A = this chain, B = another copy of it.
């Protein structure tokens, strides 16, 4: 190894309000020695996700992150030393490496990745983002050709793929995003039928105009007021795929839920269903096959937002929570 220092970013304090740079500290540690069953990883790309912020609130589908430890986060890494027969030097893996140059991680917690270029696609379209879009839309949303699909955080890593898959399936697709630039991009570059700028006020009216036949599938990345507006516009027997609640991650949790729950759910016979992509890992090969063929044919465009330098990871997450990214954001270590 050419470097002997392990740069690490610690979460020094759990935020009680908005996340800021003051909650993180760049420090240096030793490069760890892998124990039996572990491998030593050189981290290549760190994934930035709204879920990073959610973990600071407490245990979710994983344990809460704790103050004064290396900030948790998924990443693509290369095996540089192995004490487990299942992985060898040079293998590429995905796992919770944390925000650091090097990590020693049990091999059983890692997923071996195919070697493909660009490697960044392993974090975007062929990673959690692409699989989340694929399974959430197709398995929970169950869109049928001709139906109207609405997706929020539509310019984000998951949303931009959800909308494109819905187009591939023959649906009318409406994206909700923040700002005219993102909305124009969704329609002009990604082929969405319409886009609603939630920063422009009057979301309900704009959404009703963009979905004149009502909403059959709503892929919810945000919760809050936008979920409430969509609930009111859902058609009978509509499906809501609950993927996240980014509007409620950064800051004090919302004191209330959306109006219309459960009233509209009853009257319209809606299904609201939460999911996490890990539950679908046994079906991953089929998903990757579909995603690869759509990318190869040009039907699915991959948008990535790569930021350079481990030291910029906190800023990259803070910006993601503020909605500044377009497509999948990651840090090149």
Contact = CB atoms under 8 A, between A and B. Distances in A.
A271 B275 CA distance: 9
Contacts of A275: 266, 269
A221 to B, nearest CB: 10
A259 B252 CA distance: 13
A267 B263 contact: no
Contacts of A268: 274
A227 B274 contact: no
Task: Count chain B CB atoms within 10 A of each CB in A240, A248, A260, A274 and give the residue with the most.
Answer: A274
A265 interface: yes
Nearest to A269: B274
A242 interface: yes
B255 A242 contact: no
Nearest to A223: B262
A88 to B, nearest CB: 35
A261 B269 contact: no
A257 B73 CA distance: 32
B258 A261 contact: yes
A220 B261 CA distance: 11
A253 B263 CA distance: 10
A90 B110 CA distance: 73
A247 to B, nearest CB: 10
Interface string A147-171: 0000000000000000000000000
A259 B267 contact: no
Interface in A215-244: 220, 223, 227-228, 240, 242-244
Nearest to A260: B257
Contacts of A258: 257, 261-262
Nearest to A61: B267
Nearest to A249: B263
Interface string A289-312: 000000000000000000000000
Interface string A59-70: 011000000000
Interface of A: 60-61, 220, 223, 227-228, 240, 242-245, 248, 253-276, 279
19 contacts: A240-B262, A242-B266, A244-B266, A245-B262, A253-B263, A254-B259, A255-B256, A255-B259, A258-B261, A261-B272, A265-B272, A265-B274, A266-B274, A269-B275, A269-B276, A271-B272, A272-B272, A272-B273, A273-B273
